[in-house]
Structure 1
Amino acid sequence: MRIAVVAVSVILLLLAVVWGYQRQLIYLPDTSAARVGGNDVVLQTSDGLLLDASLVPARQPDRGIAVLVANGNGGNRAGRAPLAQALAAEGMTVLLFDYRGYGGNEGSPTERGLARDVRAAQRYLVEKAGLPPERIIYFGESLGGAVVTALATEAAPGGLVLRSPFVDLASVGREHYPFLPVRLLLRDKFPLAEQLAGVKVPVVVVYGSADSIVPPSQSRSVAQAAPTLKDLVEIAGADHNDASLVHGPSVIAAVVRLADQL
């Protein structure tokens, strides 16, 4: 009996720790100030935070299209500089930004907070940069795919590119913590596939066949949930953070094909 009590106590303690510290497991920010190139800009969120961002101008000929990049859960926008430069070389303006708690920004990341942050980025492109919403492509990387999909349900873009997307956070969490009741414990849900079902803009899904973070089957399930899937691109042999999947030629070509349709 005593052993059973001790075992239950240990399990409850473990669950309490996971509950209290789960966001430290989900969000892995590089808090150093990011240096990207382009024009440094500041975004203001609806709850009053100021976020550092970089607007990388299109090279000529300018397509008159902007790409709003929502990062994954790690690093900061400096790691997305090669993506921005490659897209700019194809005639697209690119907005990179850091979420709250990333890249030297104040605040702490949460699902609700990231929704405010990406909304501030979209508002900047429309109100400050003068881009019509239908000339903006949302590019979401992994967790950022859920962030831009939620944004698309309230502010429709011209198109949506989801790189290594998951069905929802619990689904990918179960892959890495199969011994935990992940769905019950999670505070932040990020229900990407559920929300994507209500998005009526052209959607592109890109994933790596050897992704060890987000299983390829999850990205394919996301593609199946898209009402207007235009392109499904598998990058053979690519893991989650491989250069070929982060900013490789197949990724850039997929964005260009979408831009040609706008």
Structure 2
Amino acid sequence: MASWYFPVADAKAAVLVAPGNAGNRSFRAPLARALTARGLSVLLLDYRGYGGNPGEPSEDGLALDVRAAQDFLTREAGTPLIYFGESLGSAVVTELATERPPSALVLRSPFVDLASVGQRHYPFLPVRWLLRDEFPTTDAVARVKAPVTVVFGAEDSIVPAEQSREVAQAAGARTIEVPGADHNDPVFSDGPELIDAIAGAIR
């Protein structure tokens, strides 16, 4: 599984970055640059079927991939771990956190579950019957034994803001709502709101 690791000497923590459904690790290079500048080591994960990795993505497969990434960071970093997931990646790291608690969990634009997002975009289809994978973020996050921060855009056209608020409520999370921001706006690449949320997650 190809990923990129950016170690920082005497890092305050290491960040496992679980991406969303778009792009690959090269798209997250600005995020890694901003976080390493704040004294954090960073692992940019690409799942199976993404970024040149072999295989087909699935809920079970992504769970295996993120566990392999967490194993690597545990061996290499030797510092507190922050799990950061964006959109689909929020579901992936939340499930991981229920079994392997991090020092902190940061979720960007999380959805309630995959079917809830699908139902919004394809209301004429029986989405809950058709989806093979569930990614039940809200159910899982309620079981996480770590501080949780949820960051999302107020004008998100992919994952409605009310879904991210519902996830935050289930987690009892610190919430950062970015006014006017849509799902893929530059603020969620390396904007100050996001970087501050991750860098300040361990309190």
Instruction: Indicate whether the TM-score tops 0.5.
Output: yes
Among candidates 159, 176, 181, match of residue 233 of structure 1: 176
TM-score by length of 1: 0.75
8 Å CA contact 2:41–2:77 kept in 1: the answer is no
Give the match for residue 3 of structure 2: 53
Q: Is residue 81 from structure 1 mapped to residue 26 from structure 2 by the alignment?
A: no
- 1:52-109, CA deviations, whole angstroms, 9 ceiling, x for partnerless residues? 1111123x6x443100000001111111110111000000000002100111111010
* Rg larger in structure: 1
1:208 and 1:70 mapped to 2: Cα distance?
A: 18
- 1:186-210, CA deviations, whole angstroms, 9 ceiling, x for partnerless residues? 1000000001111020000000011
Structure 1's unaligned 5+ residue stretches are 1-50
1:131 and 1:111 mapped to 2: Cα distance?
A: 28
Give the match for residue 107 of structure 1: 55
TM-score by length of 2: 0.97
Q: Is residue 144 from structure 1 mapped to residue 85 from structure 2 by the alignment?
A: no
Counterpart amino acid of residue 240 in structure 1: H
Counterpart amino acid of residue 200 in structure 2: R
Give the match for residue 94 of structure 1: 42
Alignment of 1:58-69 (within 5 A): 58=8, 62-69=10-17
Q: Is residue 160 from structure 1 mapped to residue 110 from structure 2 by the alignment?
A: no
Alignment of 1:1-262 (within 5 A): 51-58=1-8, 62-127=10-75, 129-132=76-79, 135-227=80-172, 229=173, 231-259=174-202, 261=203
Q: Quick one: higher RCO (CA 8 Å, sep 6+), 1 or 2?
A: 2
Q: Secondary structure at the match of 1:252?
A: helix
1:184 and 1:109 mapped to 2: Cα distance?
A: 19
Q: Secondary structure at the match of 1:52?
A: coil
Counterpart amino acid of residue 4 in structure 2: S
Q: Secondary structure at the match of 2:17?
A: strand
Give the match for residue 23 of structure 1: none
Post-superposition offset of 1:130? 4.2
2:13 and 2:42 mapped to 1: Cα distance?
A: 9
Post-superposition offset of 1:146? 0.1
Post-superposition offset of 1:184? 1.1
8 Å CA contact 1:235–1:245 kept in 2: the answer is no
- 1:206-256, CA deviations, whole angstroms, 9 ceiling, x for partnerless residues? 0001111000000000000004x2x21011111101111232111001112
Counterpart amino acid of residue 181 in structure 2: A
Counterpart amino acid of residue 78 in structure 2: L
Q: Which segments of structure 1 move beyond 3 Å, counting only runs of 4 or more? A: none
Structure 2's unaligned 5+ residue stretches are none
Counterpart amino acid of residue 238 in structure 1: A
